[in-house]
Structure 1
Amino acid sequence: MAFVKRFLYLIVPLSVGLYFVREYFQGCKYTGNERLDDKVVLITGANTGIGKETAKNMALRGARVYMACRNLNKANAARDDLLNITGLPADKIKVMQMDLSSFRSIRNFVTEFHKVEEKLHILINNAGIMFTPFLKTEDGFEMQVGVNHLGHFLLTNLLIDKLKTSAPSRVVTVSSLAHMSGTVEFDNFRGEKGYSRINSYGNSKLMNILFAKELGRRLEGTGVTSYSLHPGGIVTDLQREVLNPFFVKVVHVLGYVFWKTIERGAQTTIYCAVNDNAGKETGLYYRFYSLYTRCLLY
């Protein structure tokens, strides 16, 4: 009996403590009920992770959602899954092919998108890669900078006129706190003067933030607002691509306490995409860092 008491004295406070620690790191869940009926939303990398969760949320709010993805097989499987989960009609979620590592593919995508949609109300630059070995895009740029920043930079600029004619509209760019280790190496976009997987990722995330900030400044008064955000630490396919199986398991165990679920990781993106107060701001960098508080990082 004494052993049971000692065990309970230990395990109960520990369990309660772990619960509140986990809830803190999970961040808050956005509860706004804004509708997006008759709105068009375009999300890159929407076949997995927070992109897929964001696509589900946007579709349930009434938007017509386009999933712009590199791999059509994976994208169509994700679309089928979302349609089954939501019970929405097939025309509410659509898939289009686009490879952010190819300017040609991005331009072709935009040409086709113009043919099927007159409007675009929310562009979510969500897709990303992390810690890849040294590779180059089709256009000769280092892969992480090319996909995470340059591809989205081109896509956004090609869609600016459509966003303006659809105003009020928004551009939401998913960045990361990894920007804190980043610099903008204008003379090394091709990675030929030295390459670090970690540094390049941080560089690309810093470029995301600076782009979103400058975009907000340049589009002020047009009805198009711009946002960047840190979604939080999340266990996603990005880790599976760069870690060996043992470390993936370690990340999952630690992630249960200290990292967000995919659903919670999508909340800052959703806030920036739909919140009415956010619609009055532009060029800022956001994260939800507790149950109750929104933090403006810049």
Structure 2
Amino acid sequence: MSMKTAIVTGANSGMGLATTIQLARQGYRVIMACRSEKRGQQALQEALRESGSTAIELILCDLGSTQSIRDFARSFRERYSTLDVLVNNAGVVMLKRQETSDGFEQSIGINHLGHFLLTLLLIQPLKAAEQGRIVNVSSGAYKAGKIHFDDPHLHKGYNPIKSYAQSKLANILFTRALSRKVANSRVTVNCLHPGAVGTSIGVDRNTGFGTRIMAFIGKLPFFLSPEEGAQTAIYLATSPEVAEITGRYFYQKKEQKLKAHAVDDAVTERFWTWSEQQVGLKPDERL
């Protein structure tokens, strides 16, 4: 059997690095999609050391840049014809409103739109795999989320919880819509809440300065380790138990019922169309 291939976004720290190491230990070839060359190389060395694998590599990808995402996808497709697992793990929480290079508010831009574009650009290698699995790391914060169609980039009344919750609801709407659009293929799409994990998610992407804004995500009196937080993503990426399951939301390896506003089909389709327009999806890239 040929080695299965996985991509993990935000793989240079926290759950992304833990996911990379665990997939590599299970025999996957893992491509670490990281924005920073320096941090990516440091994480690559740690992943190689901790996993004992030699089949891990780094390809730069800035989810805050549609051009960088397109460059990454092209580089991957030039080298690999199949993709077995895509773990859309990268995420940010911004204390103050900031924009990506494309002018998107950073939380919706990186947490959703960047992954939306990346996933659609990798659909063909996912479909070419024996069974392509897409795993979107969402959050219980979706419960407080709303898609602000009148001001999705939050030019008015910005606060970090509002922006993060919107982006995590977006992950779920994307999961449900995509699962329907690839239903005639062997590709599955699921999402998860990892729990309150102690990571650097609240740290400013540019300066490295910041604080963790995690308390609103869950009421736990402690933070999970990145390794613990990664367990459900690993489960969805690899377990035969979920091979036939798609379009669902999980917590602690168990399917969870979604709140009504996360299963609104009219909002889901409207948001998909908006997302296509935002990232400049070309006609031949649409599903």
Instruction: Output the TM-score relative to the length of structure 1.
Output: 0.79
Q: Note if 1:50 corresponds to 2:15.
A: yes
Tell me which residue corresponds to 1:85.
50
**Gap change, CA 1:157 and 1:139, over 3 Å in 2:** same
In the other structure, the counterpart of 1:280 is 244
Tell me, yes or no, if the aligned pair for 2:95 and 2:202 is still in contact at 8 Å: no
1:39 and 2:4 aligned: yes
How many residues of Structure 1 are paired with residues of Structure 2 in the alignment?
Answer: 252
Q: Any idea what the Cα deviations from partners look like across 1:5-52, whole Å, max 9, x if unmatched?
A: xxxxxxxxxxxxxxxxxxxxxxxxxxxxxxx96101001001100110
Where in structure 1 do 4 or more consecutive aligned residues deviate above 3 Å? 239-245
Contact persistence 1:142–1:190 (CA under 8 A) = yes
Following superposition, the deviation at residue 187 of structure 1 comes to 2.9
Number of the residue aligned with 2:262: none
Task: Tell me whether 1:258 sits opposite 2:218 in the alignment.
Answer: no
Unaligned runs of 5+ in 1: 1-35
Match of 1:177 among 129, 137, 140: 140
RMSD: 2.4
Of Structure 1 and Structure 2, the greater helix share is in 1
Q: Distance in 2 between matches of 1:94 and 1:120?
A: 14
Structure 2 Cα separation of the partners of residues 256 and 148 of structure 1: 23
In structure 2, runs of 5+ residues without a counterpart are 259-287
Residues 111, 244 of structure 1: alpha-carbon distance in 2 compared, 3 angstrom cutoff: closer
After superposition, what is the alpha-carbon deviation per residue over 1:121-170, rounded to whole angstroms, capped at 9, x for unaligned?
A: 10110001013311111111111100000000000111111211114111
Aligned to 1:296: 256
| 1:116 maps onto 2:79 in alignment | yes
2:38 counterpart letter in structure 1: N
Between structure 1 and structure 2, the one with the greater Rg is 1
Could you say which structure has the greater relative contact order, defined with CA pairs below 8 angstroms and 6 or more residues apart? 1
The correspondence of residues 1-298 of structure 1 with structure 2, limited to 5 A, is 38-89=3-54, 92-241=55-204, 258-288=222-252, 294-298=254-258
Tell me the SS of whatever aligns to 1:124. strand
Asked if structure 2 preserves the Cα contact closer than 8 Å seen for 1:55 and 1:65, the reply is yes
Change in CA separation of 1:277 and 1:193 when aligned onto 2, cut-off 3 Å: same
Instruction: Assess if the C-alpha contact under 8 Å between 2:94 and 2:106 holds in 1.
Output: no
Q: Percent identity?
A: 39
Q: Which amino acid aligns with 1:63?
A: Y
Hey, what does 1:21 align to over in structure 2?
none
